[in-house]
Amino acid sequence: MTKGEFARLINVTPGRVSQYIASGQIGPDALDGTGRSARIIVDKARRHLNGRLDVAQRLGLNGIATRAAPLEESKQELDLSSAPAVTLPRTDVVADQIALEKLEQAKMQTARARREEALAKGRYIFADDAKAEITRAVAMAYRVMEGGLADMATYLAGQFEVPQRDILHHLQKSFRDVRARAAQSFRDAVDNEPAHITDDLMDADSEDDQ
């Protein structure tokens, strides 16, 4: 079957079929031939699309969004305050509402699936886990540095013939001052960071599906 015939069969444009092939959503084993003259092996192509398209695309809801958008725009643009009362067929209103709700549910399912996939691949991590790990790493680094002050004091005492205890006292005081300044600097940096960031890659994937 040609790409155009397959596009009509699944109710999409030939360009969309080409996109499916280019993105791997229709794999090479579902094609007979290569290049522009390649033909579609229908059964295999359908199986590929059923397993690889996101929820909204599998349910065929992209068209619903397109039909629903003009309806919402017309409600905003028309001023019906002076128009006579008109009773609309209730079945159409209910059907449109159900379609919109299904579309929103499908979008949420797709977004949730993407987040779970990103989490599994390590692209995302839980904020609480990250904070705990960073806190442990910083605390360990400070303990190592503070533990080395005694060795530094012993070395300096031998070099300058002064009591090791006095040198250790001054080193510890200086280190506490440095640690306090660093902690304040970290707090200032955190205060200037946004609470949330934008994942450009995920946003780009969402735009491609619309």
SS3 assignment, position 38: coil
Question: Alpha helix (H) ranges present in the chain?
Answer: 3-9, 14-23, 42-52, 55-58, 62-77, 90-121, 127-147, 149-160, 164-191, 200-209
* pLDDT at residue 58, rounded to an integer: 53
Q: What band does 93 get if pLDDT is binned at 50, 70 and 90?
A: confident
Map out the domains of the chain as residue ranges.
3-53, 62-76+88-123, 127-197
pLDDT single digits (tens) 33-88: 887 788 999 999 888 888 777 544 555 544 444 444 444 444 444 555 555 555 55
Residue 161 backbone class (left: φ over 0; alpha: ψ -120 to 50; beta: rest): left
